[in-house]
Amino acid sequence: MAPLGDGSDAAEEAIAGQLVNRPISTVVIVIAMQTEALPLVEKFQLVEDSESPFPKGVPWVRYYGTYKELSINLIWPGKDPSLGVDSVGTISASLVTYASICALQPDLIINAGTCGGFKAKGASISDVFVASEVAFHDRRIPIPVFDLYGVGLRQTFPTPNLLKEINLKAGKLSTGDSLDMSPQDEASIIANDATVKDMEGAAVAYVADLMKVPAIFVKAVTDIVDGEKPTAEEFLQNLATVTATLGLSVTQIIDFISGKCLSEL
């Protein structure tokens, strides 16, 4: 979850466990929306787990299979049991990340999905970003130290070779539980120096850090937050094409990861 050698728990754990020097074997991909997940299920020829490792009755879905010698687990939090829509946001993302780590012991977590981008920071529709760091923008606790806890800034696992090899942008990611952006959120996003905003990343990062599993964040831009169009409209308009682009990028990343150690990413 953090740059190697910076003294963080996840990096030290990875080094101590020699995980950095043996090929990555098991990958968990956490994806919030079915539309984002299905192109990858098809590409990697994954099948739905009929004997889910998750508690009985939860909507969480595990698709799994072997692709280029990697054990791939795509985890989708499923549909909200009452409302029937995708279980987006930080609560479901945290729960499935925790349950997936416990059940599957992955070497690496990839949180993939769509995001809003800031054109003032260089984002355009269909750009795919790998997050250099992640933080929250809707957890304001104006008390010393609790303020930092609320922001929850975390460095992501460094992937310098992957960024060199694949044509992806790097930028900071800010996470909150709303698709829109209140003036308070905007101030926090600016303070976080974010180029993209999503609804899951920092939550996945929190759990991955807690459980000492390296994690990377791949986010494709569906809407321009500081643009002219209403966010929800632009998001829905671009969702299908941008998820296809996201699928291609995640495939390139998985192809790159295959046969490599964490230290080679």
Which residues make up the interface to ligand ADE (CB under 6 A)?
A: 114-116, 179, 197-199, 222-223, 225, 231, 235
Task: Tell me if 175 sits within 8 A of 133, measured CB to CB.
Answer: no
DSSP 147: H
Q: Are 27 and 254 in contact (CB under 8 A)?
A: yes
Tokens 């959120």: give the residue: 185
107 versus 223: smaller Cβ distance to ligand ADE = 223
* Of residues 168 and 173, the one with the C-beta less far from ligand ADE: 173
* 3-state secondary structure at position 134: strand
Residues 6+ apart with CB under 8 A from 210: none
Considering the complex, what minimum distance in angstroms separates the CB of residue 232 from ligand ADE?
Answer: 9
CB of 95 to ligand ADE, least distance (A): 18
Q: What are phi and psi of 153, to 5 degrees?
A: -65, 130
Q: Closest residue (Cβ) to ligand ADE?
A: 116
| Pick 209 or 234: Cβ nearer ligand ADE | 234
Residue number with CB closer to ligand ADE (198 or 209): 198
How many other β-carbons are positioned within 10 Å of the β-carbon of residue 227? Answer: 17
CB of 258 to ligand ADE, least distance (A): 28
For residue 73, what are the contacts with CB-CB under 8 A and spacing of at least 6? 26, 27, 28, 29, 62, 63, 64, 100, 104, 106
Q: Which is nearer to ligand ADE, 38 or 103 (CB)?
A: 38
Please report how close the Cβ of residue 200 comes to ligand ADE at its closest, in angstroms. Answer: 8
Q: Which residues are catalytic?
A: 36, 223
- Closest contact distance (angstroms) between CB of 237 and ligand ADE is 11
- Ramachandran region, residue 225 (left: φ > 0; alpha: ψ -120 to 50; beta: rest): alpha
Sign for the CA dihedral angle at 258, 259, 262, 264 comes to negative
Pick from 92, 1, 34, 23: which is nearest to 247 by CA?
Answer: 34
Residue 199 C-beta: closest distance to ligand ADE, Å: 4
Quick one: 116 or 214, whose CB is closer to ligand ADE?
Answer: 116
Q: φ, ψ for residue 171 (rounded to 5)?
A: -170, 165
